[in-house]
Structure 1
Amino acid sequence: MRWTNEEEARLRQLWTTGKSLKVIGAELGRTADAAYRKGKAMGLGSKPFEGETSPTWMLLTRVCRDRRGRTVHEMAQATGTSRYTIDQLMRRKEKAGEAHVADWEKRPGAPIPYWLPFPGKSKPKPRALTNTERNRALRARIREEDPLRYKAMIDRATVNRSRRNGTVRKQHLVVRALFGLGRPA
């Protein structure tokens, strides 16, 4: 079936709308392939595509269909893409309003975001733990897991503090005698 001048004008108009070739072909009563070949023959250039072309992004939306946030590490493992690529993609999509941070994992150091590749409002980033808070958490964990290690750590800290202050406690008389720290005999 030959193309009429009206059909060519309509194809030229539809080509820049961002509609898919399938839709353009249907509006002209032709197949998508016929519309594509005629557009190329008319020199209309590449068909502008309004949508996501990144295979990584498409895979992420399928992986996260359950609406459970995932870290960059989990997403990289699921897609086989580098963590850097996933991180950059998610940040770019967040700025565009197509992704958001569902939650944050608080941990020693910087908090870790749990991303969702869907539009939504990002949770605000919690503040990072201070060194004091991290050390307190570490000591509490050691006290629970290994009481002997905790006691040794506290004893070491006490001796070091005494040395810094110049108030080292005198040893017991028996210990001093055993190690020759007492008066000469």
Structure 2
Amino acid sequence: MKWTEEDVARLRSLWTTGKSFRVIGAELGRSIESVYRKGKELGLGSKPFHGETSPTWFLLTRVCLDRRGRTVHEMAKVTGASRHTIDALMRTKEAAGAAHVVGWEKRAGSPIPLWLPFPGKSKPKPRAMTNTERCRARRAKLKEEDPLAYKALIDRNTVNRARRNGSVRKQHAVVRALFGMGAPA
């Protein structure tokens, strides 16, 4: 089948879209080899597109158009790709200047980066909470949400501390006898 001017114009426009030879050939009703040879003959280059071809990256850029940072877990759920793949892709793109960290999600362990697949300056990673800070935060949250459980925790810690120090008061002889704590009544 001979190439018409309309076919050549369409080939030129499809070549710049980043579609593969197979897709271009299907749209023009021609074989992969035919599309490749005609593109080379026209001086369009050996490949139709030299930029980003990752479908995961394209999907991420569309999903993140709201400019809200997302974790690797959220991005993996949306795209269907593995968390490892998304993490590697985002770190590679960050090194190339095509992605950045907009913030960090705080949690008990190490903070989690919130990624955006657009150029920008990454925020530095905050330091992780120490064990003491985590315990204080947990106690403050417990005190606010469940005051009775908080009081029980404090009372338990007070008794345990007294036991460790050896300062637990002996029970009255009657109480020990009633509850079988070894003292005769």
When normalised by structure 2's length, the TM-score is 0.73
State the one-letter code of the partner of 1:111: P
Confirm or deny that 1:122 pairs with 2:122: yes
The alignment partner of 1:169 has SS state of: coil
Per the alignment, residue 76 of structure 1 pairs with: 76
Q: What are the within-5 Å matches in structure 2 for residues 41-120 of structure 1?
A: 46-47=46-47, 49-120=49-120
State the one-letter code of the partner of 1:92: T
Q: What are the within-5 Å matches in structure 2 for residues 11-50 of structure 1?
A: 21-22=15-16, 36-38=36-38, 46-47=46-47, 49-50=49-50
Root mean square deviation of aligned Cα: 3.0
- Residues in 2 aligned to 1:165 and 1:22: alpha-carbon distance in whole angstroms: 78
1:120 and 1:35, CA in 2 relative to 1: closer, same or farther beyond 3 A?
A: same
Per the alignment, residue 163 of structure 1 pairs with: 163
* Percentage of identical aligned residues: 74
How far residue 183 of structure 1 moved from its aligned partner, in angstroms, is 4.8
When normalised by structure 1's length, the TM-score is 0.73
The alignment partner of 1:85 has SS state of: helix
Q: Is the 8 A contact 1:173 1:182 kept in 2?
A: no
State the one-letter code of the partner of 2:74: E
Uncovered stretches (5+) of structure 2, i.e. residues with no partner: 4-13, 18-27
The alignment partner of 1:65 has SS state of: helix
Q: Is the 8 A contact 1:100 1:118 kept in 2?
A: yes
Uncovered stretches (5+) of structure 1, i.e. residues with no partner: 3-19, 24-31
